[in-house]
Amino acid sequence: MLHLTLFLFFAAIAVAGAVNLLVQRHPINSALSLVVVMASLAGEYLLLGAEFVAAVQVIVYAGAIMVLFVFVIMLLNAGEEARSKGSRVAILLGVPGVTIGAVLVAWVVLRYSNAEAVSMYALPGDPQAIARLLFHDFLLPFEVTSILILIAIMGAVVLASPPQAIVRRRRTEPAQHETRELAAAGKER
């Protein structure tokens, strides 16, 4: 009973945050409501016994990724989004389509799922068991993700660095060459 109450509490917060993300016009309000969604989802993970995933959810998602979002919003000084012709078309076509899809998914879930209860702490989701799985059975994917992260870092640096920096580097290289030639010519003289 307590489990169900806590589930409904966190679920209500998560859905309210998700709807608020859609309703708000200013991106910073959307970002903060997304933080609320992620924190309440961490509560849901704790209810399912997944302690490690809950901790990572708070640290990586609600911490690192959302700080990155808020940082970019403040860096670009993003204001309220403007209503345009495209947004009206998107609402007219998107809302009915998404409603049909959601009803379909809900129908399938309710029709074909057995009502077995998921028990609290059904399985040990502690870091030790996860680490044993991660570094034994999933070692190759784990190493591949490290390469993925490395590529992402380099891509972000290349994409976000100002284009003048690259142009300036290209311009200065021949200039240095010229000065070296001039110096050599001056020495000969």
Query: Looking only at residues 128 through 147 of this chain, which bind other proteins when binding is defined by CB under 8 A?
Result: 129-130, 133-134, 137-138, 141, 145
Residue nearer to other proteins on the CB measure, 72 or 184:
72
Residues 30-59 that bind other proteins (CB under 8 A): 30-31, 34, 37-38, 41, 44-45, 47-50, 52-53, 56-57
If binding is defined by CB under 8 A, does position 76 make contact with other proteins? yes
Instruction: Show the binding pattern over residues 100-129: x = contacts other proteins (CB under 8 A), - = does not.
Output: -xx--xx--xx--xxxxxxxx-xxxx---x
If binding is defined by CB under 8 A, does position 72 make contact with other proteins? yes
Please answer whether residues 81 and 93 qualify as being in contact, where contact means their C-beta atoms are separated by less than 8 angstroms: no
For the bound state, the minimum distance from the C-beta of residue 158 to other proteins, rounded and expressed in Å, comes to: 8
Task: Kindly determine how many residues on this chain lie close enough to bind other proteins according to the rule CB under 8 A.
Answer: 90
Instruction: Return d(Cα 78, Cα 39) in angstroms, integer.
Output: 24
Q: How many CB atoms lie under 10 A from the CB of residue 16?
A: 14
For the bound state, the minimum distance from the C-beta of residue 169 to other proteins, rounded and expressed in Å, comes to: 17
If binding is defined by CB under 8 A, does position 74 make contact with other proteins? no
Residue nearer to other proteins on the CB measure, 158 or 175:
158
Residue nearer to other proteins on the CB measure, 78 or 182:
78
How many residues belong to the chain? 189
Burial grade of 63 (CB within 10 A; 0-12, 13-18, 19 or more): middle
If binding is defined by CB under 8 A, does position 167 make contact with other proteins? no
Q: Which residue, among 35, 26, 37, has the nearest Cα to 73 in the 3D structure?
A: 26
Q: Which residue, among 44, 26, 18, has the nearest Cα to 98 in the 3D structure?
A: 18
Please answer whether residues 125 and 53 qualify as being in contact, where contact means their C-beta atoms are separated by less than 8 angstroms: yes
Dihedral Cα 51, 57, 60, 66, nearest 10 deg: -160
From 153, 166, 183, 184, residue interacting with other proteins (rule: CB under 8 A) = 153
